[in-house]
Chains A and B, each alone.
Chain A
Amino acid sequence: MQDIIQFIKNESALVKSLFLMIIAIPITFLVQLIFYLIIHAWISFFNKSKGKKG
């Protein structure tokens, strides 16, 4: 990874922009996926425990 970054550093703004897009969009998806899983698990756990109480 370090080699790739070093290579991109010496490239034009256009190449850097393309690299940024390739890296940043999947990371943003990944972060939202983590949040999604947390929310999903939290709500499922809440509804389950509420159901048990009911």
Chain B
Amino acid sequence: MKELLIGFNAFSWQSAIMIFIGLILIWLAIKKEYEPLLLLPIGFGTILVNLPLSVVLEHEGTSGFLKILFEAGITTELFPILIFIAVGAMCDFTPMFKQPIMMFFGVAAQFGIFATIIVASLLGFDFKTASSIGIIGAADGPTAIYVATRFAKDYLGPISVAAYSYMSLVPLIQPIVIRSMTTKKERRIRMAKIDKNVPASLRIGFPVIVTLITGFIAPMSVPLIGSLMFGNLLKESGVVERLSKTAQNELGSITTLLLGITIGSTMQAEKFLTISTLKILGLGLVAFIFDTAGGILFAKFLNIFLKDKINPMIGAAGISAFPMSARVVQKMAIDEDPGNFLIMQAVSANVSGQLGSVIAGGLVLALVPILL
């Protein structure tokens, strides 16, 4: 009889809370469509791992399938790398090439990463963990997962959930920050559209050049940037359409599925239900606020010197959350002035943010070990 009730006896209230959190993630994915590709598998993985005895992880000395996936894909850093190849194959840098000046917003909006690392240090996290938490501000899920895998494996669950949750909350977070930091007059600034011809040779050469340059400046970042740029080269070369499509679809989908459910497996009650998790979730929000603020302030700073003013909202689009951030800026611009079309500039800054976040992530990977 006791053996029949083993599932009930091994169940704790902490596991019940975690299953509830898993259900919330699934609800957010299905009902609110908040990053469903990741939050749904993470939510289900959370449920699986918190069921009595956690046999999906280990049972009677034998590894369960989620532990096998964790060791094969997360410990080895393979899953985030494969995701980067897929993301690279989906990336289109053309808007950035058309207005390369927007590249600098892709840097300014990474301010949140470093500001959050400082705040996390103030809250008592060690330097490595603080750096991983700060990377939530990259607004780039795979980068956050990759850095957390390197520096803070124990916090992989909360960091990933925070990264993807806040990315999906960009349409709620950014307008509040933008409104609080800009005047109506500034939000109404119109910008001239610059439409340059982009040679195909640049689109093909760019991923190779980026890999070479970052490889010399920050060799530690090569797996990150190299895989992203490899995916992009597959797409832009135009001669391996089958591989490009496979990277975008099959590879991206399979890896996302496995990555999501494996991250869910890190969300065991004893690891997740801690004060640190709450701090990480709070710091994730701080990171996104600082990112947006950094971009806006940089645009305002440039406006001191420029004759043709930049709409400061463009700065906010410099984060990596593509295309949500660009959409937010365009919507806010139209709300203020129905004839103000900033979408081209916003997309350009947004794409630059994708590149900027990977560079910043790569630099964190390269510099943190030097300072330890």
Q: Which residues of A contact B (CB under 8 A)?
A: 5, 8-9, 12-14, 16-21, 23-25, 27-29, 31-36, 38-40, 42-43, 46-47, 50
Contacts and interface: CB of A to CB of B under 8 A. Distances in A.
Given A25-B107, A32-B104, A20 B368 contact: yes
A21 B115 contact: yes
Interface residues of B, number: 48
A5 B370 contact: yes
B106 A38 contact: no
A43 B101 CA distance: 13
6 closest residue pairs by CB, A with B: A21-B114, A13-B121, A13-B127, A46-B199, A14-B121, A39-B100
A42 B197 contact: no
15 contacts: A13-B125, A16-B371, A17-B114, A17-B121, A20-B364, A24-B363, A27-B363, A28-B356, A28-B359, A35-B100, A35-B103, A36-B104, A39-B96, A39-B97, A39-B202
Nearest to B96: A39
Contacts of B364: 20, 24
B10 interface: no
Nearest to A25: B114
Interface string B60-100: 00000000000000000000000000000000000011001
A3 B107 CA distance: 28
Contact of B360 (A17, A24, A39): A24
A17 B199 contact: no
Interface stretch (B146-154, B206-214, B232-240, B279-287): B206-214
Chain A contact surface mostly? helix
Interface in B89-134: 96-97, 100-101, 103-104, 106-107, 110-111, 114-115, 117-118, 120-122, 125-127, 130-131
B139 to A, nearest CB: 15
A36 B205 contact: no
Contact of A20 (B114, B198, B356): B114
Given A27-B218, A31-B213, A43-B198, 18 more contacts: A13-B130, A14-B122, A16-B371, A17-B117, A17-B120, A20-B114, A20-B117, A20-B367, A21-B117, A21-B118, A24-B363, A27-B217, A29-B104, A31-B217, A36-B101, A36-B103, A43-B202, A46-B199
B50 interface: no
A20 B371 contact: yes
B352 A32 contact: yes
Contact of B356 (A17, A32, A34): A32
B5 interface: no
Contacts of B217: 27, 31
Contacts of B126: 13
Contacts of A17: 114, 117-118, 120-121, 127, 130-131
B196 interface: yes
